[in-house]
Amino acid sequence: MIVDTHCHLADDAFDADRERVILSLAQNNVGAAFVVGTDLAECKKAIELAEKYENIYAILGLYPEYAEQYDQFESFLEDNLSNPKVVAVGEIGLDFHTEGYNQKLQEEVFAKQIKLAYKYNLPISIHTRDAFDRTLKVLKDNKQYLHGGVIHCFSGSPEIAEEFIKLGFKLGFGGVCTFKNARKVVDTLKKIKPEDILLETDSPYLAPTPHRGERNEPKYTNFVLDKIAEIRLENKEILEKQILENTKNTFKRFSI
């Protein structure tokens, strides 16, 4: 059994068939899906889904590019992080990809959410884009507030992977590792330990081969697992079991 530790089932892309997607997870070997929020509206929907469906859990946080909304967002987090179906704070972090970003504000909001996660005994799910150095800096500066978590959609080198692993983080891998040009991710996947790996889709984005370009779904996590086993020359069943253990060890409120 596998778990999709990062998907956006609250996204409009699932409005037409969300229930069908969720109810068909089990028959596709997906035991649970963690629905991630990026702003207030998506987080509210993620909570609703987690309360409605047994196999859905919520990850709540403010996406770095929305950092200026944090003042209105904080009380929502405080009100909801004790919910037993909330398994992490995320996706939070830094995104310096789009021009005009406010680095200082993003770093402040990232640090505030790290501290809130600590207060509620939760791990964090990190989004980092064009910002590995500063992400590591914020994490190191807040080391006493870390309860582990995951670097979602990890795309860095083995050396950067090692830095995050040293801070207690797992690395989340999705469709990107199935793409032809994914040399760096493949290199990292060959070098890290099986204990460091988590599976995800980031649905509806980044569908793995052979569905690249289509809407992604949690059931496609199976293609990611197949590819990782192939890259690492490992027995798929053993790897699958190990990754489920990693998932439980990281997200302590999740049980199956």
Residues that bind Zn ion (CB under 5 A): 202
Beta carbon of residue 168, minimum distance to Zn ion (angstroms, whole number): 21
Gap between the Cα atoms of 93 and 206, Å rounded: 19
| Alpha helices, DSSP H, located in the chain | 18-23, 40-52, 70-80, 103-119, 132-141, 158-166, 183-191, 221-232, 236-250
Min. distance of Cβ 86 from Zn ion in angstroms? 16
Q: How far is the CB of 127 from Zn ion (least distance, A)?
A: 6
Give the pairing of strands 56-60 and 86-95: parallel
Q: How far is the CB of 171 from Zn ion (least distance, A)?
A: 15
- Closest approach, Cβ 237 to Zn ion, in A, equals 28
C-alpha closest to that of 38 among 3, 13, 10: 10
> CA–CA separation, 5 vs 142, rounded Å?
24
Q: Which is nearer to Zn ion, 179 or 242 (CB)?
A: 179
Of the two residues 200 and 239, which places its CB atom closer to Zn ion in the complex?
Answer: 200
Residue 62 CA to residue 2 CA, distance in Å, equals 26
> CB-wise, 163 or 202, nearer to Zn ion?
202
- Amino acid identity of 248? K
Q: Provide the residue type at 177 as one letter.
A: C
Q: For 37, list phi and psi in degrees, rounded to 5.
A: -105, 150
CB of 201 to Zn ion, least distance (A): 9
Minimum CB distance to Zn ion smaller for 4 or for 239: 4
Count CB neighbours of 226 within 10 A. Answer: 14
Nearer to Zn ion, 9 or 239 (CB): 9
Residue (178 or 216) nearer to Zn ion, CB = 216
The crossing angle, in degrees rounded to 10, of helices 103-119 and 70-80 is 10
